[in-house]
Amino acid sequence: MMPEPLNNLERLCIHSITTKPWTIEEATINYSSKGVHGITVWRDALTGRNIRQTGEMLRRHGLKTVSLCRGGFFPSAEPAKRKQAVDDNRRAIEEAFELGTNLIVLVCGADPAQPLDDSRKQIQDGILSVLPDAEAAGVRLAIEPLHPMYADTRSAINTLAQANDLAELINSPWAGVAVDVYHLWWDPNLEKEIIRSGNNGTLLAFHVCDWKSPTMDMLNDRGLMGEGCIPIRKIRSWVEAAGFKGFIEVEIFSDRYWKQDQSVFLQDIITRYKQYV
Amino acid sequence: MMPEPLNNLERLCIHSITTKPWTIEEATINYSSKGVHGITVWRDALTGRNIRQTGEMLRRHGLKTVSLCRGGFFPSAEPAKRKQAVDDNRRAIEEAFELGTNLIVLVCGADPAQPLDDSRKQIQDGILSVLPDAEAAGVRLAIEPLHPMYADTRSAINTLAQANDLAELINSPWAGVAVDVYHLWWDPNLEKEIIRSGNNGTLLAFHVCDWKSPTMDMLNDRGLMGEGCIPIRKIRSWVEAAGFKGFIEVEIFSDRYWKQDQSVFLQDIITRYKQYV
């Protein structure tokens, strides 16, 4: 059964990268003034800021920081780079703690110079390495499966089944999964795997946007909700049937939208959130 | 265990579209003069030709027509278009018969205007509709799972598991599957599903090329073997462990290579076939 449309913005979260031309301060003021309740902060938006004060600014404007984006990128054929990645994830955990969010999204990484199986093993090792830090900081790590078109360099975890397998193997309250409709909409096992993550208590995040036909760029041509072919509301029904009641995060990378007036774009996001999510 | 490199060209097949700037007549002469033994003919290459005579020309030059590419594109939200697609697949079966090949590759299709489940059901219905024609002509139909990045408009069948499920459901000696490393290399279940198709006796075709990092175009930026991150020889070992001893088909869509001297490109294909397949 399809859920009702969302008639208020209580569960709407926007990723700072969605309105990339805005600074975090501009995004804060604009999201807040439109009644948006949540923000996921991309780390680049924090450059040169005092992170603790930025977290306070967000809270002062009524914005909950849903997650910090992003940790991960663990695999490399070079051991020194794997060490750097672990260090960087420890920094991300500190940043999340200072910002005042209890969730980090992991884009797990992949290195085309080595077999996918090796990258997958290194992802597991990397997460296990930083898990004590995550626990100490009270920050959960969400394994986000990425679309298979990113299997070469961005993530060797490409289906929710893989993410669930990995989360079950890690078997910690500090590790779970993130569901992004853009990456997973095509998967015939999606509903089943969403229910599985719900049953495991590991469904930590839900990201939305749309898949345009045609898609002109593999990275930065995501669509606004309703602009493409993803059955967003149907997938929301699965996520909610799995017990997820958290924020619904709008994450759009789009050269086209980044060129527009971001205030107009923000209004479009809100309109389409109510209409298509 | 890794198989030995292929030191002769007995199993090398090239898709006519790989050397798109050449006419079918030019491709025939050039492939043949280099000792290539097989060709897969794309239907556009037959435009304006007598198909039976083209088949004879290919045989006269020592080329086996491994398959005709492509049938499929069954789904549509519009019933009239589904009917057209079935008619077109019947024509493809006639063309395959006249050309003298016993295999058609199916790019199954998808319509972003309807749910993937509907497209999947229409693919099944479409194949069942033309199966008697295929049997009468002695032509098998190979369901080719396409990369999930094509799930919007090109194929709602995106993993070998789905293709195997469908082939088992159809359960006919005239329907099987095609394995293309470009579409499937990322899948953690690939080895298992290749073995499954081998056990079913439905593994009908094996296509190779490579996945470049970065890939600049979603359709026409495939790499030559060895130019990317696909473990081609490892996947060949799975295909051969599954009992497949047929042609290995080089299928590359590349704006870059199509701009080059096709004779040089053909030599590269042969060199890299021996080195990386």
Spell out which residues of chain B touch residue A112, defining contact as CB-CB under 8 Å: 213, 228-229
Whether B66 is covered by a domain: the verdict is yes
Cα–Cα distance measured from residue A70 to residue A249, given in angstroms and rounded to the nearest whole number: 14
Instruction: Classify residue B252: in a domain, yes or no.
Output: yes
Query: Is A49 among the domain residues?
Result: yes
Q: What is the pLDDT of residues A190-231, one digit of tens each?
A: 999 999 999 999 999 999 999 999 999 999 999 999 999 999
Q: How many of the other CB atoms lie within 10 Å of CB of B78?
A: 11
Give me Rg for the CA atoms of chain A. Answer: 18
How buried is residue B164: exposed, middle or buried, by Cβ count under 10 Å (0-12/13-18/19+)? Answer: buried
Look at residues A153, A188, A154, A157 and name the one whose alpha carbon lies nearest to residue A170: A157
What is the rounded distance in angstroms from the CA atom of residue A71 to the CA atom of residue A81? 14
Of B53, B33, B67, the C-alpha closest to B247 is B67
CA distance readout (Å), B194 to A119, B161, B277: 22, 9, 17
Kindly state whether residue B7 falls inside one of the protein's structural domains. Answer: no
Minimal CA–CA distance to B185: which of A116, A139, A184, A129?
Answer: A116
Nearest residue to A226 (alpha-carbon basis) of A179, A270, A180, A178:
A270
Angle at A121 between CA A115 and CA A125, to 5 degrees: 145
Q: Does B120 touch chain A (CB under 8 A)?
A: yes
**Model confidence pLDDT, tens digit, residues A102-123:** 999 999 999 999 999 999 999 9
DSSP type of residue B41: E
Taking CA–CA distances from B218, the nearest residue in chain A reads: A218
What is the domain range of residue B145?
12-276
Q: Does residue A124 sit within a domain?
A: yes
Subunit contact A112:B213, Cβ cutoff 8 A? yes
From CA B263, how far away is CA B271, in angstroms rounded?
12
B211 touches A at CB < 8 Å = yes
What distance in Å separates the CA atoms of residue A230 and residue A253, rounded to the nearest whole number? 16
Put simply, the answer to whether B151 touches A186 (Cβ < 8 Å) is yes
How far apart (Å, rounded) are the C-alpha atoms in residues B225 and A115?
16
What are the chain A neighbours of B120 within 8 Å (beta carbons)? 188
For the residues B129-133, what does the mean pLDDT come to? 98
Q: What is the pLDDT of residue B119?
A: 98
Give a yes or no: residue B262 inside a domain. Answer: yes
Q: Which of B149, B152, B213 sits opposite A147 (nearest CB)?
A: B149
Q: Which residues of B touch A113 (CB under 8 A)?
A: 229
Report chain B residues whose CB lies below 8 A from the CB of A147.
Answer: 148-149
- Choose, out of A186, A193, A218, A233, the residue to mutate when testing the contact with B (most B CBs < 10 Å): A186
User: DSSP state, B148?
Assistant: G
The 10 Å CB-count burial string (b at 16+, else e) for B212-245 is bbebeebeebbbbbbbbbbbbbbbbbbbeebebe
Q: Which of A229, A233, A235, A237 to mutate to test the interface with B (most CBs of B within 10 A)?
A: A229
Complex ipTM value? 0.97
Q: Measured between alpha carbons, how far apart are the two ends of chain B, in Å? A: 14
The span from the CA of A105 to the CA of A72, in Å, is 8
**In the predicted structure, residue B145 carries a pLDDT above the cut 90:** yes
pLDDT tens digits for range B167-202: 999 999 999 999 999 999 999 999 999 999 999 999
**Residue B1: pLDDT over 90:** no
Query: Chain A partners of B151 at a C-beta cutoff of 8 Å?
Result: 185-186
Q: What is the pLDDT of residue A169?
A: 98
**Average per-residue pLDDT in chain A?**
98
Is B5 near chain A, with CB under 8 Å?
no
Residues 6+ apart with CB under 8 A from B127: B74, B106, B141, B143, B166, B170, B175
pLDDT in tens, B201-244: 999 999 999 999 999 999 999 999 999 999 999 999 999 999 99
A7 in a structural domain:
no
The number of domains in chain B is: 1
Question: Cβ separation of B113 and A149 shorter than 8 Å?
Answer: no
Question: Is A104 strand, coil or helix?
Answer: strand
Give the residue among A179, A168, A97, A84 at the shortest CA–CA distance from A126. A84
Q: Is residue A37 part of a domain?
A: yes
Looking at the whole model, is its pTM more than 0.90?
yes
Nearest 5°: CA angle at A151, between A148 and A219? 75
> Is B77 in CB contact (< 8 Å) with chain A?
no
Domain containing residue B151: CATH number: 3.20.20.150
* Mutation site for A-interface testing, chosen from B2, B114, B119, B152 by largest number of A Cβ within 10 Å: B152
